């Protein structure tokens, strides 16, 4: 299976242009499972809730349909960040879809900084979805700093974490290796690049998208200067082996009775 990411700088407030860009970059791609950045169609630095609301859509809306068409044209499975509306609530979400439609949605549980002024925190937990024999979990950016996020996905059987991000802090570039090792999962990090300066807020996005294997080995990594589609072949079944030595299985050796519970 070939997994990959598209690292780019989405144009703020221009979902059609961003969709066209994604479509162009996917031409003749051999990737099977693609991760796009957080809020890949709209950009990130919203003036306020009203502006974000005007760019949002329900699951299954026009942008989702366009992504499904792109998935169909390329026979590819896509996880993409998108700005989801449900009633008056806005969610910073990731949608997983293929040519047959939406497979599932994850709503970002841990909101970062001023996202708290706009979004409702995710309320649907950390779902794991099956793609044939493979199980994938979705994650969005700042979720990483809570080890429970990827731990929960791994304990629920995820082989691959499709991590859509708009990272602005540097820490995950190294912490991702630990997250992969401690859970023995593949992580595909699709991070955006570029800079947004709007209404006195500035965000500089750090790129560094990568694919890490369950032993913490970086299989693919690009800098914050590169833009484009990148992929690597993996064997997702390797994530089913949770043994770190012959006598240590990272799940069976857990001692939850001694771990702190809120």
Query: Where does this chain bind ligand ACM (CB under 6 A)?
Result: 38, 112, 141-142, 166-168
Rounded to the nearest whole angstrom, what is the least distance from the CB of residue 172 to ligand ACM in the complex? 9
Phi/psi at 99 (5° precision): -60, -20
Residues in the chain: 262
Rounded to the nearest whole angstrom, what is the least distance from the CB of residue 214 to ligand ACM in the complex? 24
The rounded distance, in Å, linking the Cα atoms of 51 and 213 is: 39
Rounded to the nearest whole angstrom, what is the least distance from the CB of residue 10 to ligand ACM in the complex? 13
108 is catalytic: yes
16 is catalytic: no
- For ligand ACM, the closer CB: 101 or 170: 170
Phi/psi at 13 (5° precision): 70, 20
Exactly one of 66, 84, 85, 108 is catalytic; which is it?
108
Rounded to the nearest whole angstrom, what is the least distance from the CB of residue 173 to ligand ACM in the complex? 13
Closest CA to 201 of 89, 117, 105: 117
Rounded to the nearest whole angstrom, what is the least distance from the CB of residue 206 to ligand ACM in the complex? 10
- For ligand ACM, the closer CB: 48 or 73: 48
Please report the sign of the dihedral spanned by the C-alpha atoms of residue 222, residue 224, residue 225, residue 230.
Answer: positive
- For ligand ACM, the closer CB: 137 or 231: 137
The rounded distance, in Å, linking the Cα atoms of 192 and 236 is: 25
- For ligand ACM, the closer CB: 32 or 166: 166
38 is catalytic: yes
| Strands 201-206 and 193-198, bridge-based pairing | antiparallel
- For ligand ACM, the closer CB: 74 or 80: 80
Phi/psi at 25 (5° precision): -70, -25
Closest CA to 53 of 20, 86, 81, 79: 86
Alpha carbon distances (Å) from 101 to 14, 96, 130: 23, 9, 14
Query: Catalytic amino acids?
Result: 38, 108, 141
């Amino acid at each position: 299976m070939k997994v990959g990411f598209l690292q780019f700088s989405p144009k703020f407030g221009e979902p059609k242009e961003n969709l066209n860009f994604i479509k162009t970059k996917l031409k003749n791609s051999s990737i099977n499972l693609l991760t796009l950045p957080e809020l890949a169609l709209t950009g990130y630095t919203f003036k306020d809730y009203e502006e974000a609301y005007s760019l949002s859509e329900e699951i299954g809306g026009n942008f989702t349909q366009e992504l499904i068409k792109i998935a169909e044209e390329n026979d590819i499975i896509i996880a993409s960040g998108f700005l989801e509306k449900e009633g008056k609530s806005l969610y910073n979400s990731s949608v997983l879809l293929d040519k047959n439609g939406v497979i599932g949605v994850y709503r970002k549980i841990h909101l970062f900084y001023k996202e708290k002024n706009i979004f409702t925190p995710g309320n649907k937990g950390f779902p794991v979805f099956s793609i044939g024999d493979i199980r994938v979990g979705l994650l969005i950016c700042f979720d990483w700093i809570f080890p429970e996020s990827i731990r929960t996905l791994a304990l629920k059987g995820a082989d691959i974490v499709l991590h859509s991000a708009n990272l602005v802090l540097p820490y995950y570039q190294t912490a991702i290796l630990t997250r992969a090792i401690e859970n023995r999962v593949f992580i595909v990090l699709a991070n955006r690049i570029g800079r947004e300066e709007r209404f006195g807020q500035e965000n500089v996005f750090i790129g560094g998208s990568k694919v890490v294997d369950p032993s913490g080995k970086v299989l693919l990594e690009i800098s914050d200067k590169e833009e484009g589609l990148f992929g690597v072949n993996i064997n997702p079944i390797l994530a089913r082996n949770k043994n770190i030595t012959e006598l240590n299985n990272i799940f069976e050796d857990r001692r939850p009775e001694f771990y702190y519970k809120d």
